[in-house]
Amino acid sequence: MKNMKNISLVLIVFFACVSCKEYLDVKPKGEVIPKTAEEFGALLNSHLNEIDEGYDEAILGNPMEKFELECFGDNVENSLTRNVTGMGAIPKYVGDRLNSFRMEYRGLYSLIRNCNLVIHEMKESDTDLAKSCYATAYAMRGVAYYNLMRLFCEPYNKEKAEEQLGLSIVTRFDMEARPKRSSLKEVATLIEEDFKKAISYHSKSEIYRYTEDVVKAYLARLYFWTQNWEQAIPVAKEILDAYPLVEGAVYTDMLSARYAQQGNVLLRSYLLTSSSGDVNYNSAKGYLPVKPVSKRFIDLFEEKERDVRYAFSFNAKREALKIPMACVRSAEMCLILAESHAYLNQTKEALDYLNLLRSKRITGYTPYTMGNLPAVDEYALVRINAEGNAFTPLLWAIHCERRKELFMEGDRWFELKRNGCPEFWCAKDGLKYETQQFMYTAPIPSQDIDLIPGMIQNEGYVKL
């Protein structure tokens, strides 16, 4: 690993010299081109180090990045008495960060470039190291496109995906190519193919993080986001069976751990101490009191102290206590199973998985049945489900459980996007600011609009 990190430093310096305008498709030139599997592995390791040390902002994320995502949604509010201004100030609403999403765009396409380099330029193929490199390159390219899709494309509509705008797909090096946006369906298909290719290598290497099980969890996420409920179920079930839910102190210790991956967490950032990672962690922790937890979120905990998440997530002053965390864990798979079965009208199975999660979080819980499900909140911000219809009590119960379970893990913003992109306003500096529907989809960086003929900007954004 030490040799790989040394090689990484050489490669990072080299790639830093590549023109920013051409990060989509530049094939590196010069003498410092990786040749061995070890050198290609080091190229991937430069990205993995960012995750391990807690300063990655685009691939898996970090505590501060997840906290900012929470600031965009409705789990927390802007404080009217405590404020933070100046450099590094937390966003008051998504409009404060729309332009800066270009950094994620650039970072993810840089990752795609490096993954393409491994996939198409590495000649070694039969060694265990080479297979790990291929598996990781396909996995991380799929993750990069998945993250880009959720940020820069409209919510996936299974019936209209072939017409929806996707992304510039770059899978090979071509100095002359200037790819325009494909369809959203084509992007989803590429991501699925990359994940399946990564899985086919059956990687178990913890060094490369994106093991076979981690990629399967991402595949379940993809099917869930693209409304392929039937396909999401077996993949999510396999992961949940392999990583059973934990409860009580094991659960809270798992989510409180620093520099450790515990319990049923398959992947997490910030495993190693670093100055940048420590800054992100401490900043996120320090900013929590500035964004009070919303009363509507607190009111979801009907069992109050009997629910382990109640005291773990916030205190009586409405200050969040759960430190933001970037991870992949099996509780999400349980929620995917519950919701996927619900959309397929398989109510027994949906209730089983919903009750399974509740049984691990609530002492003396009462199992939900179709007869005692809570009523849909007619005053809630979210009114439309992922398929564009009104919530049923079952889907609403699953929706609320997901909100409680994945609090401070960067999920809520994408749940709002997936469920109708509701518009809402907040107070900021004495004025009223509105999160409008188009803001759920970040703008394509103007650099790309200028660089690529025929490149279409997302709706709602105009070049100033």
What's the pLDDT tens digit per position in 148-200? 999 999 999 999 999 999 999 999 866 566 799 999 999 999 999 999 999 99
| pLDDT of amino acid 31 | 44
Which domains, and CATH codes, for the chain? 2-425+438-443 (1.25.40.390)
Query: Other CB atoms closer than 10 Å to residue 216's CB: what's the count?
Result: 22
The amino acid at 262:
Q
Among 318, 412, 304, 309, CA closest to 75: 412
Would you say residue 21 has pLDDT above 80?
Answer: no
User: What average pLDDT does the chain have?
Assistant: 91
What is the arithmetic mean of pLDDT over 63-90? Answer: 84
| pLDDT of amino acid 4 | 41
| pLDDT of amino acid 90 | 87
239 burial (CB, 10 Å; 0-12 / 13-18 / 19+) is: buried
Among 443, 445, 425, 423, CA closest to 434: 425
Would you say residue 10 has pLDDT above 70?
Answer: no
In 391-435, beta strands by DSSP E: 424-428, 431-435
Mean pLDDT lowest for which of 12-21, 51-60, 102-111, 148-157? 12-21
pTM beyond 0.75:
yes
| pLDDT of amino acid 463 | 63
| pLDDT of amino acid 195 | 98
Terminal CA-to-CA distance of the chain, rounded, Å?
Answer: 47
How far CA 407 is from CA of 127, 218, 369, 402, in Å, comes to: 42, 19, 25, 8
